[in-house]
Structure 1
Amino acid sequence: MHERSPRSEHQPDLLRLATAGSVDDGKSTLVGRLLYDTKSVLADQIDAVTRASVDKGLSTPDLSLLVDGLRAEREQGITIDVAYRYFATPTRSFVLADTPGHVQYTRNTVSGASTAQLVILLVDARKGVIEQTRRHAAVLALLGVPKLVLAVNKIDLVEDPATVFAQISAEFNSLTSTLGWSTEDVTEIPVSALHGDNVASRSENTPYYTGPSLIEHLESVPVDADSAGRHSLGLRFPVQYVIRPRTAEYPDYRGYAGQVAAGSVSPGDEVVVLPSGIRTTVERVDTPDGELDSAQVGRSVTLILADEVDISRGDTIASPADAPEPIGEFDATVCWLAEKGLRPGARVLLKHGTKTTQAIVGTLVDRFDEQNLSSDPDPETLELNDIGRISIRVAEPIVADDYAVNRHTGSFLLIDPAGGNTLAAGLVGDVLSSVEVGKSA
């Protein structure tokens, strides 16, 4: 396992993105168009879609059928679940979370956008920025999504597309600046997903628009700087598994397997084990293919330490320079995902990284009003899709960064201890304050 020569770490150029928007704004057609124009679908799939489109009396293929695969979705003509699509161009690979547009599926949008580096937010050119657009923008700001694309779809269906596009762009820019995005982080593109205008290539039908097509922008948008701070922080390495092969070849092997959640790790680095606080150094960075000179964010490796330390699943190996203090009680923002509401005193399981511990919900501090960007204090409950601020006390301390500093180590789940269902997605710290512009009385 360790006789191979060290090698360098290499990460492919990958962009994680998601879609969001209102019902019937054309998200499924746009995603289908992205897959079609990047030649990411098989010929028999295209044939099946073409036949189904002819049966529906359409003269052109209905590309939304490429993605609305569930029978219930096809029957209703809507997307009702998060689905992950994979496509690539010669310059970049993409993982796309296709999320629903209905208000009752806001929780699905939270799930799909939680790891996105960029979100394509669609609006119908005929309707402009509506309530659900504002809701999604607020949720995306809350999640700390670094880049936005406003895709003004169905631009071919309005009488004065140049004026409509300018008006929608101005209104959206006003909204996003209020939510904390800079103008460099938001790009507006007029598109027709049905006809392919400005999706794969720039269209002659939009002479008023001189910017890139959607795919051109996705290929060129910078993703080196991790807005979550995972590259700028020191090492965060949640231990997933302790490897003890106990074989004749490796009688004394003790490795700690996991994924680098922030920073990087190399042989010789000094580290601290949390929550115990014991310090040691990294002796080796192992993988099934041999040792590494260093491992960067997102790489799954096994660390061999210089000293025998009592480490188990759920512990965190971190850089001593900026290691977070283990916390037992903290404030957090949650999106409630369960049908039954949340009340103070609820007993739950909290899953943070590789650690799961019992927890008690203290007070419900406030509930977020995503339309007015304000909060309603002291709610009695948080209901399905509500976003609110709560206090939590855990039985065992967790090693967490503030979500605003690191999206990966600052997020957690609340789980029903009886049934094992996910109850809430949580963010450590007061992230609501960054998107609130006022308090309700």
Structure 2
Amino acid sequence: MDLLRFATAGSVDDGKSTLIGRMLYDSKSIFSDQLESIEKTSKDRGDDYTDLSLLTDGLRAEREQGITIDVAYRYFSTPKRKFVIADTPGHIQYTRNMVTGASTADAAVVLVDARKGLSEQSRRHAFLVSLLQVPHLVLAINKMDLVDWSEEVYESIRAEFVDFAAKLEITDLSVIPVSALLGDNVVTRSENMPWYHGPTLLHHMETLHIASDRNLVDVRFPVQYVIRPHQSSNHDYRGYAGQMCGGVLQVGDEVLVLPSGLPTKIASIMDASGPADVAFSPMSVTICLEDDLDISRGDMICRMNNQPSVAQDIDAMVCWMSSTPMAPGQRLAVKHTTRNARALVKELQYELNVNTLHRNQGATELKLNEVGRVRLRTTIPLLADEYRRNRQTGAFVLIDESTNSTVGAGMILAAI
């Protein structure tokens, strides 16, 4: 069954957690004891209704403040598709959590309060969705029940967002009016908005075409682990395990191993169920080659005439996730696909104001939750693509070696 990952985003109190709770509840994807628990909690707090946001807001601080702080993942399925939902925070100080949740998403749902219209945080999250190259964006205009199901309010917000989205790299945009609290247009069609003729949110997610979003042209197979059984029945077995990050490989294909540049052919492919004739993104497989080559973790298998850049100078957009600012001259560890390196921050070219899209070229450092264009010099070459071409080989994380904390997420613009 097909799998869709999607993230919710938007400003505080726009109803992201309630929307997910409603989707889980109306699709019969929660257990009776879970429902009893949130009904009891809602009653104990004096709520007039069952607060479905409690299905995702599990931390004590989240329940006390009525906000989402950490990314909450929920899993459910319908007869048509499996889903992984990332409920991301709306507060500006938790922007880094939103980036984490959306980085692997196939689609993003940005919620807007129909009473307030587009907020600064709505625009901020829409920009970050665009920056992360999430292929599909849904604008869910929530709380339509509080504006008397007004078509004029819906059209006004839709027109304003479409105008803003024209400045971003958004390839697929849908706009759906909903009421997460009452369930209108979430799973079942609303009788209160007869003027809306589009799909419900769940139906849209069930029918969203994502197969063409995968890069099936550029073969990229970063080696994660070398398998040597050391068994009498497998004296000479040497398999290379990892996840396909792009393209299609078949038994007998001629390939190239980087960074050594040695050519060889695919002898066999194994997936979880046994021998396979073909491997494609995002399958996890073990590949055996016809020649015994010196290959280890961090190397990459690709096509002879279609190779990633082998580069040590990296231009990238970086979202900074640490309370300690990033500045030129700083030394950090880099985790890129299965390859580890160290890097020097050579230059901060500009800090990008994600609200106005203004480039502050006078910036001398990147603070927590800020985004900027940075040039890095790595100790060993990275086998990289531009992020817009491949979201896996074009992304990396930055790590503070003194604390082993992830301090930044990067999207490669150019590898030189």
In structure 1, the residue matched to 2:180 is 193
Letter in 2 for 1:208: W
1:42 and 2:31 matched? yes
- Residues 350-369 of structure 1 mapped to structure 2, 5 A cutoff: 350-369=334-353
In the aligned structure 2, how far is the partner of 1:283 from the partner of 1:300?
Answer: 17
In structure 2, the residue matched to 1:14 is 3
Identity percentage of aligned residues: 51
In the aligned structure 2, how far is the partner of 1:199 from the partner of 1:160?
Answer: 15
1:150 and 2:128 matched? no
In the aligned structure 1, how far is the partner of 2:343 from the partner of 2:180?
Answer: 46
In structure 1, the residue matched to 2:206 is 219
After superposition, the CA RMSD in angstroms is: 1.3
In structure 1, the residue matched to 2:66 is 77
Unaligned runs of 5+ in 2: none
Larger relative contact order (C-alpha < 8 A, sep ≥ 6)? 1
In the aligned structure 2, how far is the partner of 1:409 from the partner of 1:37?
Answer: 38
**Cα deviation code 1:228-283 (max 9, x no counterpart):** x522x221000011111121000011111111111121110111001111110000
Give me the TM-score of the superposition, normalised by structure 2.
Answer: 0.97
- Deviation of the 1:372 alpha carbon: 1.5
In structure 2, the residue matched to 1:57 is 46
The answer as to whether partners of 1:364 and 1:378 remain within 8 angstroms in 2 is no
In structure 2, the residue matched to 1:336 is 320
- Residues 15-414 of structure 1 mapped to structure 2, 5 A cutoff: 15-159=4-148, 161-182=150-171, 185-226=172-213, 229-231=214-216, 233-414=217-398
Matched positions, count: 415
- Deviation of the 1:56 alpha carbon: 2.8
The answer as to whether partners of 1:99 and 1:108 remain within 8 angstroms in 2 is yes
Letter in 1 for 2:103: S
In the aligned structure 2, how far is the partner of 1:430 from the partner of 1:43?
Answer: 51
Q: What stretches of structure 1 move > 6 A for 4+ residues in a row?
A: none
Letter in 1 for 2:84: V
Give me the TM-score of the superposition, normalised by structure 1.
Answer: 0.92
- Deviation of the 1:289 alpha carbon: 3.1
- Deviation of the 1:60 alpha carbon: 2.8
In the aligned structure 2, how far is the partner of 1:242 from the partner of 1:52?
Answer: 50
**Cα deviation code 1:362-403 (max 9, x no counterpart):** 010000111221211141100000100011111110101100
- Deviation of the 1:419 alpha carbon: 1.4
Unaligned runs of 5+ in 1: 1-11, 432-441
Give the 3-state SS of the residue equivalent to 1:133 in structure 2: helix
**Cα deviation code 1:67-102 (max 9, x no counterpart):** 111111111110000111111111111111110000
In the aligned structure 1, how far is the partner of 2:4 from the partner of 2:13?
Answer: 26
The answer as to whether partners of 1:238 and 1:353 remain within 8 angstroms in 2 is yes
- Deviation of the 1:54 alpha carbon: 2.1
Give the 3-state SS of the residue equivalent to 2:28 in structure 1: coil
In structure 2, the residue matched to 1:4 is none
- Deviation of the 1:169 alpha carbon: 0.4
